[in-house]
Amino acid sequence: MKANEQLPEEHRFDRLRVDVWKLASQSHLSEDELIERLLCRIGPELGVSRACYNECGGDVVVCRSEWCSEGVKPSRGSSLPKPMVEQLLGGRCAEFSAATLERELPESMPANEKIELAAFVERLNLNSVFAVPHYADGELEGLLTLDVCADATEKPVWSKMRKEVAMDAVELLAQGLAQRRMERSLRRSKRDLERRVAERTKELAGALEEKKLLLVEVQHRVKNNLQFVDSLLSLQSEHAQEKDLARILSESRHRVRSMAMIHERLYSTGDPVHLDVLDYVQRLGTYLLDAYGTDRDRIKLNIRVEAVKLDANRAILCGLIINELVSNALKYAFSGKQSGRISVGLRRKGNDCYTLVVSDNGKGLPLRFGVGVSRSLGLKLVGMLCEQLNAKVRVSRKNGTRFEFIFGEEGYSRR
């Protein structure tokens, strides 16, 4: 007969455990919503007058949320000193009866605390209390109290099964609260990190903009200085008495001008670091054709440059190489009124490699020619530029002359 009476209660308590687990698993519920719904679920099921969740705040334990049966006086906001509660609990679940409370109190408890506790019991009209604490890192964090009031029509007996249900509920509640606090801490940390990243990004953006302006100014000054050197060389060449000296000064002007054009483009585009190679090569080619008084109907300049950008250092080296080889082709590749074609190409080869090609269909180079060992100053300069660019060079004499330079993103040699 006794087993039959317990069977429905076992089923109810099993369902209660499942419902509490489901509540604790609902991450969208706030801490207050979770506590409130849990109390509303376990209070009626366990047949108590009042189910309270008490939270430790500093040196006191305060009732944070509660469920009360009809006609029961609320206790929300009531509190007891934390040391007193810890002394009563002794680090475990505890059951107290108002009738025997005075005898069960520790002898070491001060008289004023005993009076305060008796007043608390009388104020809340308590008959009995079952208290289930939960701890975090050895510290009392919260406390579930299940109160039965003195005027309650039914006073449930705290059987082992009821106590186990209450302890399971507190364990699940503690896990749910810990999870929500951890998530709240993570969200707070995320917001703080995002704020700090935004602030730092703003600082870096400001520093980058300042650096960019300084670089633009540097490019502007370098351009002006090179143009000044260009003008000096122009004046010197005009007053040179010897043809060879005039030619040397003129060729030096072209080299200076090829560098000045790079700094001019870096300044005018607002990007002081990267150069639009196609635009630059077109301008340089036009300048060289005009400088050498080339008949454009007889000599064609084909530019096949992909839309790539190079940093200023590599752009200067490539510009000087193009200047020397195009100039050399314009001077020596075509004799008399021979027509011909000069081609300049630059393309990306893979993700980190470039190929620069300068070719012509003129009369070609001597058989014993070698880049860097030629007696020509311009071709010696090309060899030096190749070393600085860390480029591999290939020379072909088939159908004219073809120079191919292969260089990478990395490996620029500062000299």
185-231 pLDDT, tens digit per residue, is 999 999 999 999 999 999 999 888 888 787 778 777 877 887 888 78
Q: Give the model's confidence band at 1: pLDDT under 50 very low, under 70 low, under 90 confident, else very high.
A: very low
Last residue of a domain, one of 189, 210, 241: 189
Nearest 5°: the CA angle 218, 224, 226 is 100
- Same domain for 157 and 267, yes or no, is no
Classify residue 415: in a domain, yes or no.
Answer: no
- Same domain for 170 and 272, yes or no, is no
Classify residue 230: in a domain, yes or no.
Answer: yes
Does the pLDDT of residue 378 top 50, yes or no? yes
pLDDT for 3 equals 43
Q: Give the model's confidence band at 412: pLDDT under 50 very low, under 70 low, under 90 confident, else very high.
A: low
Classify residue 366: in a domain, yes or no.
Answer: yes
Does the pLDDT of residue 398 top 80, yes or no? yes
- Same domain for 14 and 98, yes or no, is yes
Number of independent structural domains in the chain:
2
Report the alpha-carbon distance of residue 250 to residue 169 in Å, rounded: 94
- Same domain for 156 and 269, yes or no, is no
Q: Tell me the two tokens of residue 336.
A: 């008399």
Question: What is the mean pLDDT of the segment spanning 234-263?
Answer: 83
Name the more confident of 345 and 369: 345
Question: What is the mean pLDDT of the segment spanning 19-34?
Answer: 90
Measured in whole angstroms, how far is the alpha carbon of residue 106 from the centre of its chain? 58
pLDDT for 358 equals 96
Tens digit of pLDDT for each residue in 279-301?
899 999 999 999 888 888 899 99
- Same domain for 266 and 289, yes or no, is yes
Classify residue 384: in a domain, yes or no.
Answer: yes
- Same domain for 306 and 343, yes or no, is yes
pLDDT for 369 equals 65
- Same domain for 217 and 360, yes or no, is yes
Place of tokens 């709240």: 184
Last residue of a domain, one of 154, 189, 224: 189
**Mean pLDDT of all residues belonging to the chain:** 86
Q: Give the model's confidence band at 5: pLDDT under 50 very low, under 70 low, under 90 confident, else very high.
A: very low
Range of the domain at 164: 2-189
Classify residue 311: in a domain, yes or no.
Answer: yes
pLDDT for 79 equals 92
- Same domain for 175 and 212, yes or no, is no
- Lowest average pLDDT, out of 85-99, 133-147, 251-265, 319-333, goes to 251-265
Q: Give the model's confidence band at 410: pLDDT under 50 very low, under 70 low, under 90 confident, else very high.
A: low
Classify residue 59: in a domain, yes or no.
Answer: yes
- Same domain for 133 and 225, yes or no, is no
- Same domain for 309 and 404, yes or no, is yes
Does the pLDDT of residue 411 top 60, yes or no? no
Integer angstrom CA distances of residue 158 from 47, 161, 207: 11, 8, 70
- Same domain for 178 and 232, yes or no, is no
Last residue of a domain, one of 189, 224, 258: 189
Does the pLDDT of residue 413 top 60, yes or no? no
- Same domain for 151 and 265, yes or no, is no
Q: What is the CATH number of the domain that holds 351?
A: 3.30.565.10
Does the predicted model carry a pTM greater than 0.85? no
Q: What is the CATH number of the domain that holds 8?
A: 3.30.450.40
Classify residue 385: in a domain, yes or no.
Answer: yes
**Percent of the chain at pLDDT exceeding 70:** 95
